[in-house]
Amino acid sequence: MYQDHFSLSASSPASAAPPNMPAPLRVGLLGLGTVGGGTLAVLLRNADLIAARAGRRIEVRMVAVRNLERARSVLGAHAASLHLTDDAQVLVHSPEVDVVVDVMGGTTLARTLVLQAIAAGKHVVTANKALLAEHGSEIFAAAQARGVVVAYEGAVAVSIPIIKTLREGLTANRIEWVAGIINGTSNFILSAMRERGLGFAAALTEAQALGYAEADPAFDVQGTDAAHKLSLLAANAFGTLPQYAEVQAEGIEDLQAADVDFAARLGYCVKLLGIAKRRGQGLELRVHPTLLPAGHLLAQVHGSMNAVMVQSDAAGTTLFYGAGAGAEQTGSAVIADLVDLARSASLLPHQRVPALGFARGVQAGLPVVGADEVESAFYVRLDLSRPELAAPRVLQQLAADGVRVERMAQYPHPADPELQCLVLLTAPVRLRTLRPALQTVEGWPEVMGFASLLRLGF
């Protein structure tokens, strides 16, 4: 069907004629935007290679879009070889479709259609992290009841098979924590701030101009997108349903260029991390800018790239790196799910990998430790008018309040020549202990407002 677009060389394994190959896996695409287009392009370009791996062809039989004209122009000659519709209902109920691929975005219509597809007995592949983070419990339960698969490798760090790694690769392990750079937009902005001294606003504008940030960047720079993804990582690591509502998310929009600079001078790099960590009977589940030593592996992740580090009891420290977004990159993940389905579509549920990695005993949630109770080192910056007097007093006060300062530095204030910036790196401490101490010193006349507070390490 798509042979004319296939360009594997003649000697490649894929060129072997496929006699007696089972019937194709028939796919319906909900949406033909960036990700839908990228998925289709890779499916067409590598069709024979993918069939050689999967043992069956994977064919897009139907595409549902809002705008038929636009879709026809995207599809070109392929429009004739598949069923193009603007009625998603037709697709999710079509007997011509085995798997519904949701690449439409949003959480309202997508939720309805995904649930309808499940009810119609279709398997679902989705790259929609918001949908699963917010409605995953409902969707996974519906899929389980109906005996179909909901696969979502494309929902997190797309080029990295991190869902598969957590669900299947590290199954022997008690996972201690997962910490990841899982929002490429934020990492691009942070890289620009660090490498070229840009302020947040300028770096954001550049990211938008280059297509790394949306016109409305709120989801990315406020930490929402990372929180969506973290909830899916944590579910697979710890055997819970997605606990998105419990994630304590702080983005990078308030980060100041001066703090990125001071951190660099002290040997640190600021990264937006999503962190899920065992803590007694509960979990820490948080997204925030974090200082990492410049030599840390996660500090080597530049631009819009993603990486997820996993600490587990048998495998130890592992890290998985790749692109976090992109049309074909997401397509790579969506197609990996389709290849899995090409083998497993007809299996019984207990023969399949469970949706959230646990066949039994998945819990609704684990208690999430409040931000005040999470212990970490901190980077504290105070802007002082009379540093020679104020700095010793600040240190005394912090010591009196049980906060140990491990390192101190002073830098000229970037804008106000009358001020000195006092930067303190604390020993691990709870915010519950640190905050009252900072509130005390904030009230002093020589402390010109409390400037910045960032977590250091995780």
122 part of the active site: no
**Residue among 46 and 128 whose Cβ is closer to a second copy:** 46
Positions 311 through 350 that interact with a second copy (CB under 8 A): 312-323, 326, 328-329, 331-336, 339-340, 343-344, 346-347, 350
Question: CB of 98: closest distance to a second copy in angstroms?
Answer: 15
**Residue among 14 and 405 whose Cβ is closer to a second copy:** 14
Tell me the three state secondary structure of residue 398: helix
**Residue among 13 and 121 whose Cβ is closer to a second copy:** 13
In 10 A of CB 13, how many CB atoms? 10
Number of residues that bind a second copy (CB under 8 A): 87
Positions 429 through 448 that interact with a second copy (CB under 8 A): none
Q: Print the binding letters for residues 154-193 with a second copy: x by CB under 8 A, - otherwise.
A: ----xxxx--xx-xxxxxxxx-------------------
What gap in Å lies between CA 231 and CA 276, rounded to an integer? 8
**Residue 443 phi, psi dihedral angles, 5° rounding:** -80, -10
Q: List 292's β-bridge partners, or say none.
A: 269
What gap in Å lies between CA 402 and CA 435, rounded to an integer? 11
Question: CB of 144: closest distance to a second copy in angstroms?
Answer: 13
Q: Which region among 3-11, 371-379, 382-390, 404-412 touches a second copy (by CB under 8 A)?
A: 3-11
Tokens of 421: 């910036």
Q: Decide: 130 and 155 in contact? Cβ < 8 Å.
A: no
Q: Indicate which single residue of 357, 384, 390, 458 sits in contact with a second copy (rule: CB under 8 A).
A: 357
Name the residue type at position 258: A
What gap in Å lies between CA 147 and CA 123, rounded to an integer? 9
Active-site position among 122, 129, 164, 229: 229
- Render 55-109 in DSSP notation, one character per residue: SS-EEEEEEE-S-HHHHHHHHGGGGGGSEEES-HHHHHT-TT-SEEEE-S--SSH
Tell me the three state secondary structure of residue 249: strand
Positions 126 through 155 that interact with a second copy (CB under 8 A): 153
**Residue among 42 and 258 whose Cβ is closer to a second copy:** 42
**Is 53 a binder of a second copy (CB under 8 A)?**
yes
Positions 240 through 299 that interact with a second copy (CB under 8 A): 240, 280-281, 295, 297
Q: Decide: 417 and 253 in contact? Cβ < 8 Å.
A: no
What residues act catalytically?
A: 229
